[in-house]
Amino acid sequence: MDNAIIVSFISCVLLGSCTSSPPNFVLLFADDLGFGDLGCYGHPTSLTPNLDRLAAGGLRFTDFYCTSPACSPSRASLLTGRYQTRSGVYPGVLYPGSRGGLPLNETTIAEVLKPLGYATAAVGKWHLGIGANGTFLPTRQGFDQYLGIPYSHDMGPCQNLTCFPPDVKCFGLCDVGTVTVPLMYNEVIKQQPVNFLDLENAYRDFASDFISTSAKKRQPFFLYFPSHHTHYPQFAGPGAAGMSLRGPFGDALLELDNTIGSLLETLEGTGVLNNTLILFTSDNGPELMRMSRGGNAGPLRCGKSTTYEGGMREPAIAYWRGIIQPGVTHEMASTLDILPTIASLAGAKLPQVMLDGVDMSNILFSQGKSKRETMMFYPTNPSETYGVFAIRLEKYKAHFYTQGASHSGTTPDQDCSIFASLTVHDPPLLFDLEADPSEHYPLSLDKRPDLQAVLGRIRKVKEQFEGSMVFGESQISKGTDPSLEPCCSPQCEPKPNCCHC
């Protein structure tokens, strides 16, 4: 019996709703959020009541991973179920004038669902390329509608922009010498520079209208909401500014949580909450170089741009009222697994390519074992020369290479900083993540034949995986062209300063 039938049966029995309506999917994706940043993950001063409510009524993951400690490659893997090395979204991230983007021959979650009649929408941070004439925008990748900033909101000068009311300027300079960040609807620039104080309201209204319209049409839907929160520079409008105990970071996080609360109200009010799977996670770990403005990895080591746990283990919540039983799972899962899971639940065909994700249904509906035994850890600049930097096999993690990063600087741990240069480990550093999630105490292999056997298994997994990995053409190495930077007045001069509307 396939999962679509199983879910329909569960819904019929538990909810008294014997309909054949396909499930809806809401995918919430935070930005630079650390493992320890949410109240339900132990932060003492974060105000995240709606996310905490989802966690209390749903399934909270303790061992959930992204595929890259950087934005663009992590998003590519989320939407395709494939490591970023296959799609070519590496090294680093895409920029406003990047020539490349997520290749159109890659199949996104939206494209998996479209043949089944799903309405699809994306709202927020895309960061998978724009390209010439909008080649790589969401509307070219399976989404019916899009509202958002097509890349990171720090990729444009922000020193004179307002991030908090009444007129608190954004922290830092952001990227200078480029166009100010635009707000796009589908493929048209609606505002440049974006108004940060009203941005979240625009996203909330767009997403709520999409849900309401789909529900009214009785059309199944997929809503992808990659938020800008809590990436630097943090911002928040009047509904959240100054209302948390964590300062600007906490206010930005509260604004995201408020939006999630509004979406839950819309799902409830339109009568589709009981038929909607809500998934929440983040793209990578916290940007520790920003100190208190950069997030918190909790007990995990380092953060963004590193392959330590703090860079790639993320908070994650799955909620489906009446279907997913409340609890906590310690099973390993990944953003890679979201596409196969959604496809299975919708009864959709999987893309005919090498997928790295597995179906999580057994975890979600039975709190059973994961099909995932391994997780690969690529750095922000992966190469065929070095291959994976680390591998997790069951509870063990082996680091073949370690390297610090500027994004994880300022912490007392010197192995996190940019001055911690690339180091080869032979034999690899081996950690028991159940006993030592902070990766402080490498296991000694001396007189431990059991650990030698574990290491042998890990080496075999590494050899097999890297033997099957075919690196796609690097999209980011195609470089940038200033003429591709989005400008609401394409013929104006002098650029980029004249791009204002």
What are the residue ranges spanned by the domains of the chain?
Answer: 24-372, 377-468
Between CA 403 and CA 424 the distance in angstroms is: 9
Closest alpha carbon to 272 in 216, 342, 206, 203: 216
Crossing angle of the two packed helices 49-57 and 247-269, in degrees rounded to 10 = 50
Catalytic-labelled residue, pool 43, 127, 228, 229: 127
The sign of the torsion formed by the CA atoms of 44, 50, 54, 57 equals positive
* pLDDT for the residue numbered 4: 54
* pLDDT for the residue numbered 447: 86
- On the question of pLDDT at 14 being above 70, the answer is no
* pLDDT for the residue numbered 136: 98
Does the model's pTM come out above 0.85?
yes
Question: Is 330 an annotated catalytic residue?
Answer: no
* pLDDT for the residue numbered 3: 58
Continuous segment of H or E residues that includes residue 467: helix 449-468
* pLDDT for the residue numbered 141: 98
End-to-end alpha-carbon separation of the chain, Å? 55
Q: What is the pLDDT of residues 461-472, one digit of tens each?
A: 999 999 999 999
> Is residue 63 within 8 Å of residue 330, measured between CB atoms?
yes
* pLDDT for the residue numbered 9: 47
Matching CATH number, 377-468, of 3.40.1110.10, 3.50.30.30, 3.30.1120.10, 3.40.50.410: 3.30.1120.10
Q: What is the pLDDT averaged over residues 297-311?
A: 98
Helix (H, G, I), strand (E, B) or coil at 293: helix
> Is residue 65 within 8 Å of residue 332, measured between CB atoms?
yes
Catalytic-labelled residue, pool 40, 43, 66, 71: 71
- On the question of pLDDT at 6 being above 90, the answer is no
- On the question of pLDDT at 18 being above 80, the answer is no
Ramachandran quadrant class, 236 (left: phi over 0; alpha: psi -120 to 50; beta: rest)? beta
Question: Is 71 an annotated catalytic residue?
Answer: yes
**Tell me, what amino acid is at 353?**
V
In this chain, the answer to whether the domains covering 24-372 and 377-468 adopt an identical fold is no
123: β partners: 147
- Environment class of 443 (CB within 10 Å of its CB; exposed 0-12, middle 13-18, buried 19+): middle
> Is residue 77 within 8 Å of residue 338, measured between CB atoms?
no
Q: What is the pLDDT of residues 369-379, one digit of tens each?
A: 999 999 999 99
Matching CATH number, 24-372, of 3.40.1180.10, 3.40.50.620, 3.20.20.70, 3.40.720.10: 3.40.720.10
Q: What is the pLDDT averaged over residues 23-29?
A: 98
Strands 188-191 and 221-226 turn out to be unpaired
* Band of residue 16 on the pLDDT scale cut at 50, 70, 90: very low
- On the question of pLDDT at 12 being above 70, the answer is no
